[in-house]
């Protein structure tokens, strides 16, 4: 609530835009929507909304994410602020962006129809409104940095995953191939995964064992002076 101390200073809107990443069919995707209002109505846009007076930036981002995914507890991280004077032709708007990692197994596809939205491969992004393409570039750069240093890559999966799927995701994020033997050797050396007795046989008769990320083992790995690196 305003106290009047800054009544002579400029007032402008604060928006939150979310770069929502999801992994499916060996591709890293971003959820886009057709902008429902002017200016630039009907053009491709990130998911966003304005911050209310009684909420923080994080709460505003959580509100946007829940509106478009109906999921709570999504991993998200602030990317940066965008405040060029004429970035939004509708008004003076400063936008703070977040990237979020959505588990597509839990995503309700009917939501996409409701919001005229779709998942788009990061390599096939259309021209987006305002400075949203720049936001995506910055978010992807930050995602790649964090994946290399923190175990956030496991946030893309609903509990279990196979090593081939994990490698596919890594390659989709970095857009480059990696040697399978070295990749698995590096993961095995950290000892932070639990192997399950069940296999995924959707892609071959032999199948691939499922694994889960073990947070306790990861904590012990870090506390022993090791560094996570993928």
Question: Is there a single domain that holds both residue 113 and residue 30?
Answer: yes
What is the CATH number for 17? 3.90.79.10
* 134-138: average pLDDT: 98
> Has residue 172 been placed in a domain?
yes
Of 149, 164, 179, which closes a domain?
149
Taking the alpha carbons at both ends of the chain, their separation in whole angstroms is 46
Of 149, 177, 208, which closes a domain?
149
Mapped onto helix, strand or coil, the DSSP state of residue 177 is coil
**Enclosing domain of residue 79:** 13-149
Give 224's contacts (C-beta < 8 A, 6+ positions apart).
none
pTM equals 0.92
Look at residue 76 in the predicted model and tell me its pLDDT: 97
Of the ranges 141-145, 197-201, 225-229, the best mean pLDDT one: 141-145
- 98 in Cβ contact with 76 (< 8 Å): yes
Handedness of CA 138, 140, 143, 144 (dihedral sign): negative
- In tens, the pLDDT along 33-91 reads 999 999 999 999 999 999 999 999 999 999 999 999 999 899 999 999 999 999 999 99
* 212-223: average pLDDT: 97
> Has residue 2 been placed in a domain?
no
* 148-162: average pLDDT: 94
Question: Is there a single domain that holds both residue 101 and residue 202?
Answer: no
Question: Is there a single domain that holds both residue 140 and residue 188?
Answer: no
Tell me the β-bridge partners of 14.
Answer: 94
Q: Nearest CA to 57 among 87, 80, 29, 73?
A: 80
Question: Is there a single domain that holds both residue 42 and residue 97?
Answer: yes
Distance separating alpha carbons of residues 58 and 60, to the nearest angstrom: 5
Mapped onto helix, strand or coil, the DSSP state of residue 210 is strand
Classify 211 in phi/psi space as left (phi over 0), alpha (psi -120 to 50) or beta.
beta
Give 164's contacts (C-beta < 8 A, 6+ positions apart).
203, 208
């Amino acid at each position: 609530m305003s106290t009047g101390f800054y009544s002579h200073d400029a007032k402008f809107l604060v928006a939150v835009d979310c770069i929502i990443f999801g992994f499916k069919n060996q591709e890293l995707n971003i959820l886009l929507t057709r902008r429902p209002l002017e200016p630039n109505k009907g053009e491709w846009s990130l998911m966003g909304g304005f911050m209310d007076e009684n909420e923080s930036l994080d709460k505003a981002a959580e509100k946007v994410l829940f509106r478009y995914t109906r999921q709570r507890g999504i991993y998200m991280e602030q990317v940066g602020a965008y405040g060029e004077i004429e970035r939004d032709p509708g008004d003076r708007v400063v936008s703070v962006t977040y990237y979020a990692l959505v588990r597509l197994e839990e995503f309700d596809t009917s939501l996409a129809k409701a919001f005229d939205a779709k998942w788009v491969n990061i390599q096939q992004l259309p021209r987006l409104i305002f400075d949203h393409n720049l936001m995506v570039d910055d978010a992807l750069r930050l995602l790649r940095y964090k994946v290399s240093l923190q175990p956030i890559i496991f946030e893309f999966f609903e509990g279990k995953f196979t090593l081939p799927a994990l490698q596919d995701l890594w390659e989709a994020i970095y857009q480059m191939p990696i040697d399978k033997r070295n990749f698995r050797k590096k993961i095995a050396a950290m000892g932070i995964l639990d192997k399950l007795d069940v296999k995924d046989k959707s892609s071959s008769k032999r199948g691939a064992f499922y694994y889960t990320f073990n947070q306790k083992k990861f904590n012990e790995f870090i506390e022993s002076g090791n560094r996570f690196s993928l």
